[in-house]
Each structure stands twice: as C-alpha cells, then as structure tokens.
Chain A
Amino acid sequence: MTSAALPDQESVATPAAVPTLTSHVRGYLSRVRGGEIGALPAVLGLIVLCTVFAIMRPSFLTTANFANLFTQGAAVTLIAMGLVFVLLLGEIDLSAGFASGVCAAVLANVVTVLGYPWYVAVLAAVLTGVLIGSVLGMLVAKIGIPSFVVTLAGFLAFQGIVLLLMEEGRNISVRDPVLVAIANRNLPPALGWALAGLAVAGYAAVQTTRYRSRAARGLVTDPLTVVLARVVGLATVLGTTVYLLNQERSFNVLINSLKGVPIVVPLIAVLLIAGTFVLQRTSYGRHVYAVGGNKEAARRAGINVDRIRISVFVICSAMAAIGGIVAASRANSVDPNTGGSNVLLYAVGAAVIGGTSLFGGKGRVLDAVLGGAVVAVIDNGMGLMGYSSGVKYVVTGVVLLLAASVDALSRRRAAASGGR
C-alpha cells in the first residue's frame, strides 16, 4: 500500500547515493514536469524572439542594437527587480511606475532647480522611494487595506505629485555629467573585461566553497561536473556579452568612438547580486519566502509578518527610485510622463515572464532581469519591424497574459503532483 501510494518517495531511499550528472539532469527534468519551471519560459522565449527578429530584421543583430537593448530595458528591469520582493508575498505594487516618476522628479528638482550635487539628488530620490514604500507598506500591513487598492490609489496620487513637482507639465532637464553618464556612457573596454573576470571568479569561488564545505560534512553535493558547467556557462555568457559590447559601434569613429559595456549593466549586476544574496542567503530573505508561502506558519514561527510586509514595499519603491534615476538619465530630462504609460505593466510583465509567481512564495531577482530582457527584446524588435506602439502594447499584453497563464497552470500542476 505504501509503495503503491507513493511510488518513488517512500521506497527505502539511499540518501548517501552520490548524485551523478545523469541523476542531476533527471531530477531537474522531473521538477520541470512537476511544475517547477522557473525561468525556463523566459529563456526559451528570449531565444525564439531573438531568432525571429534576427531573421526578419538583420539590423536587430548589430552590436549597436545589442547595446541599445540594455539601456532601453534598464529602468523597467530595475523596477521589476524591486517588484519581485512584493510579488513574493503575493502582493502587488501598481504604483511602482509613478513612484519612480516621483523620485525622478525629486532628483531633477534637487539637481537642476536647486543646484545640489548629483549624490545629494540621488540620495534624495532614493529616500523619497523609501518614504513612499514605508507609507504603502504601513497602509497594507497595519491598516489592512489590500495592496491592490493601496497602490492603485498611489498610482493616481503619484501621477498627480509628478505633475505638481513639474509645475503643471513643464519638463526639467538633467545635465549633470555623472547622472547623464549612468544610462548614456560606457565602461572602458578593459574595465568591462576586468569586471566580467571578477564576476566569474567570484561565482566560481562561491560555488567551490559551497561544494567543499558540504562535501567536508558528508552532505549530498551537486556533481562536480554540474558545478563546473555553471561556472563555464556564466563565463561564456559574460564573455560573449562583454566581447560584443566592446566592439566599435559608432557610425563614424572619427567623430566619436562608441564602445564598451553600458554603465547600467554593472549597476544592474550589482543590484542583482545584492538582491539574490538577501533573498537566498539571509534569514530575512528566508522569512520573505516563508510569509509568501504560508503567512500563518511564518507567524507561528515567530516571524514579524508585518515588518516583512512593510519592508518589501520599501525595497520595491527604493528600487523604483533607482529605476527612475536611470530613466531620467537616459532621457536627459524628467517630464510628467516619466514612469508612466507602459512602465509599470512592463515591469510587472518582466517579473512574471521571468517566472515570479503572482501567487507569492516563488521567484528570484534574476527572474526580473531575464523577463526584463524579454520585454526589452519585444519592444525593441517590434520597433525595428516598424509596428506602431498600438501593436507593441497588444503583443506585450498577450505575452504578459501568456506568462501569467504559465504561472497559474504550473501552480496547478505542482498542486496536483505535490498532493501525492
């Protein structure tokens, strides 16, 4: 009866069995079949989209356009990275787009109108984000208003605040060289290589340390080939990216040389590493997942649920502030529509397309980056194909719906296979 009801779980397992490459791959495949697909749809979608656009429009494949993708998608990706924290609790922040607009407006006012140095402006913008997040989080956690309603109200109110800060529709230019550089300048090619090398070395060090410490204690480790494959995989991706971005992409080298990794790339990478560290390696991150998975269980385990709920809104709005700074930098100015129109939906779409669940408890910061890449590719590729923004909106909406269906279906699948 036991073995009939629980085919492979209850059979007397040999926990000490050393996993091989094949068993690792088989385990991964069975998890995928069980509904734990993670970022697989985003990666596959990225490959398909890139192939299609490359065939339809050869200009999609140029290094200039490749570099464009990063700067175009940066602001949305940064906002999406913050949204992941909120989505992990099964909440939503619809105000993130205009929160980034408010923070950008604060930045522009401080640096251009008031004439303070760039770092004061950046600090003011991020603090504005923290303040917005605290207020939203308090209203959700302490008063108990659904986050959907709170942030929808925020969506409207922040739109108004941007208008007020812009004095009824004028736009404020941002001319500070440091701020403009964030989204418009590139790293020197040598520095790009150095940072990529540092990232790969760091990743390899983390992986081998984990492997060694687990092996030393006699715990089950991933097979060494898998560890090696991960490091080589990262090295390949980073190496190719840096190589392509370090190519000359100026039309006329005599006028100005244009090569190197855009500065936003290391910015996103640093925040990606920091966010991943917080979520995966600290007890705070563990508690975020726990509250998203089962709030009652988290409460009984002594976790301060309200504090976690407030904190994710703070993180989300602070990341939105950084997204707003990048948007202001890219446009060289802030106008009443900064952070408006499609920004929020693109950001939510990026997080969900990347594999973050709308139901809470599942997701990674990396998802937002992969999903952000998909959104950027759609936006960029459709633009190159000459489609109107109308078509772009429709396609992005359909892709978001598709990602949400995949999320809902994989959840049902997981429930079905988990109920064994």
Chain B
Amino acid sequence: MSATPLLELRGIDKSFGPVQVLRDVALSAFPGQVTALVGDNGAGKSTLVKCISGIYPTDAGEFLFNGRPVSIHNPRDAAALGIEVVYQDLALCDNLDIVQNMFLGREKRRSLVLDEPTMEQMAADTLAGLSVRTVKSLRQQVSSLSGGQRQTVAIAKAVLWNSKVVILDEPTAALGVAQTAQVLELVRRLADNGLAVVLISHNMNDVFAVSDRIAALYLGQMVAQVKTTDITHAQIVELITAGRSGALGLNAGNGSNDTGGEPAAAPGAAR
C-alpha cells in the first residue's frame, strides 16, 4: 500500500450549461482502502463518478493515476486504466446467466466460438477470490438471483478484469439487512485485496462500518476528506447538510485537509 493515491483528481470543474455542478473538486483513492463519497442529493456525487468513468467530459482539472497525469475521454479509457464502475441499476441482463453477464461485451473466444469453459472457470476463480459462497450455480440466470446476489455478480464483473479502482454507486440502497452486511463484507474484501474502492452511500452506518476515509461533497464542492477514525457521525451529517462542521468544511481548508497520506491503522479497524 503506497502513500501515493492510486487515483487522484485535482481541481475538477463541471458545468451543464449555466449550472456549475462540480467546483474545484479534489478526490483521492488509495489502494487497499475504502473511500466513502458522501453528500446530499444533488451534491454532485453521480456527476463526479461519471466524470471519472469518462461518460462526462470535465471542464477543468486533472486526473492522476498512480501519480502520473492521465486523460479520460470515454469509458474505454477508464476501463483501460483499470477503473470500473458498478452503477446503481447494476446493468445486468436478467435473461443471461452469471458467467454470461460477467463477460458481457468481452467474451473469451477460440476463433469464432465462445470459450465457455474458460469463462466459467475465470468467473468461478473470481468469485472464489472474493469468498463468495452464496450462489448455487454459475449457470443460473440472473433473474433467479436475490438483490444481494445480483450486487455480488455486478461487483465480481467489475473486478474480473484486474481492475485497480472500483467505484460503487449506492450498492446497498435496495437491500435488506442481511444482504447489506454481505455486500459490505465484499466491499471490504475488495480493499483488502489491494484495490482502491470508492463507495457512494447515503447510509452513514454503512459508511462507518466499512470505510477508511470519507470524502464529503456539498453543493458541488469537496468540503472534507478525512480518515473515518478522525470524525464522528454527527460531524459528517453536518458536513453533508451544511457544508461545514467546526474546523472542517467550507472556509476551513476547502477540501485540502487531506489526511489520507498514510493508510488507516488496519483495514477494517473502523468496524
């Protein structure tokens, strides 16, 4: 786990016509850590994610990947760098099975024919690497899976390609208590496997359960990036709703008070 962030954004601006959605936003994601991205509705979380994944072009600002400046113009650029996004609506095909979904658009082939055994084996290895034991058969259709299992498949699809940064957009929003616990455990395991994980969530319990660092957006500005252990539940809520909390937030450092240089004491210590 290096001290340089795997993914670092600096001074990102983004406007839709006259509306400025992101204002000088900075964000760092470290390998082996879960960075929670929090903020109220309309704070710009989803826009920021779409800028990172190359769906939206940015107006200003720079991307650093492993310390080197890079440019991301489209989703393919992001994928080439190893940045994968798991969207809220999962983007799975109900009528295909788990393996088919995981390899969708990137099927393994031998000349013209699909190489099913290889794909099934790779899918099985990936799920085993994430210690997923909840799916009965890799050949069952996604329509027969529970919400938590679908989320698991979507996450496994994102890590299948040796990705380095995984961004999860509200992975637990639609899940019950037990399934939320399963998915959070999986999120933690991704970070423990050395990936940089960015978790977008509205649920403060989830954020505190799983994250190492918290980045708070308020009306398009990054108001704080702090270690989870250095902040309380109440402070985060204040940052989300008012943009400041005591010494943190707007007019008190404006997102530059980044303490994430060194990794948190131990992964999962916050739990």
User: Which A residues form the contact surface with B (CB < 8 A)?
Assistant: 1-2, 5-6, 8-10, 12-13, 15, 34, 36, 213-214, 217, 219-220, 281-283, 286-287, 289-290, 292-294, 296-298, 300-303, 361-362, 414-415, 417-418, 420
User: Are B94's CB and A418's CB within 8 A?
Assistant: yes
User: Are A220's CB and B96's CB within 8 A?
Assistant: no
User: Are A13's CB and B144's CB within 8 A?
Assistant: no
User: Are A297's CB and B92's CB within 8 A?
Assistant: yes
User: Are B106's CB and A301's CB within 8 A?
Assistant: yes
Which one, B113, B133, B177, contacts A282 given CB within 8 A?
Answer: B113
A23 vs chain B, min Cβ distance (A): 11
| Chain B, range 174-217, C-beta contacts under 8 Å to A | 176-179, 182
Chain A residues within 8 Å of B151, by CB = none
User: Are B136's CB and A13's CB within 8 A?
Assistant: yes
Apart from the given pairs A10-B134, A15-B138, A302-B76, 18 other A-B contacts in the complex at a CB distance below 8 Å: A1-B176, A5-B176, A5-B178, A9-B134, A9-B149, A13-B133, A13-B135, A34-B144, A214-B120, A287-B105, A289-B96, A289-B100, A293-B94, A293-B96, A294-B91, A301-B105, A303-B104, A361-B95
Chain B: CB-nearest residue to A294: B93
Which one, B91, B112, B133, contacts A301 given CB within 8 A?
Answer: B91
User: Are A9's CB and B100's CB within 8 A?
Assistant: no
Name 24 interchain pairs, CB-CB below 8 A, sorted by A.
A5-B176, A5-B178, A8-B136, A9-B135, A9-B136, A10-B146, A13-B133, A15-B136, A217-B117, A219-B121, A219-B124, A282-B113, A286-B114, A290-B93, A292-B95, A293-B95, A297-B92, A300-B87, A301-B105, A302-B75, A303-B105, A361-B93, A361-B95, A414-B143
A300 vs chain B, min Cβ distance (A): 5
Chain B residues within 8 Å of A303, by CB = 104-105
User: Are B117's CB and A361's CB within 8 A?
Assistant: no
Chain B: CB-nearest residue to A285: B114
A382 to B18, CA, bound (A): 70
Chain B residues within 8 Å of A294, by CB = 91-94
User: Are A298's CB and B104's CB within 8 A?
Assistant: yes
Which one, B76, B93, B121, contacts A297 given CB within 8 A?
Answer: B93
Chain B residues within 8 Å of A213, by CB = 117
A302 to B105, CA, bound (A): 6
Chain A residues within 8 Å of B87, by CB = 300
The residue among B91, B121, B137, B143 with the most chain A CB atoms within 10 A of its own CB is B143
A75 vs chain B, min Cβ distance (A): 30
Chain A: CB-nearest residue to B108: A283
A298 to B91, CA, bound (A): 8
B109 touches A (CB below 8 Å): yes
Chain A residues within 8 Å of B95, by CB = 289, 292-293, 361-362
A83 vs chain B, min Cβ distance (A): 18
With A2-B178, A34-B144, A219-B117 given, is the CB distance from A290 to B133 under 8 Å?
A: no
User: Are A301's CB and B104's CB within 8 A?
Assistant: yes
User: Are A282's CB and B114's CB within 8 A?
Assistant: yes
Which one, A283, A298, A414, contacts B107 given CB within 8 A?
Answer: A283
Chain A: CB-nearest residue to B181: A2
A278 to B141, CA, bound (A): 20
B145 touches A (CB below 8 Å): yes
Chain A: CB-nearest residue to B104: A301
A175 vs chain B, min Cβ distance (A): 40
User: Are B146's CB and A6's CB within 8 A?
Assistant: yes
Chain B residues within 8 Å of A8, by CB = 136
A420 to B140, CA, bound (A): 14
The residue among A9, A219, A303 with the most chain B CB atoms within 10 A of its own CB is A9
A362 to B136, CA, bound (A): 22
Chain B: CB-nearest residue to A291: B93
A289 to B75, CA, bound (A): 23
Chain A residues within 8 Å of B139, by CB = 220
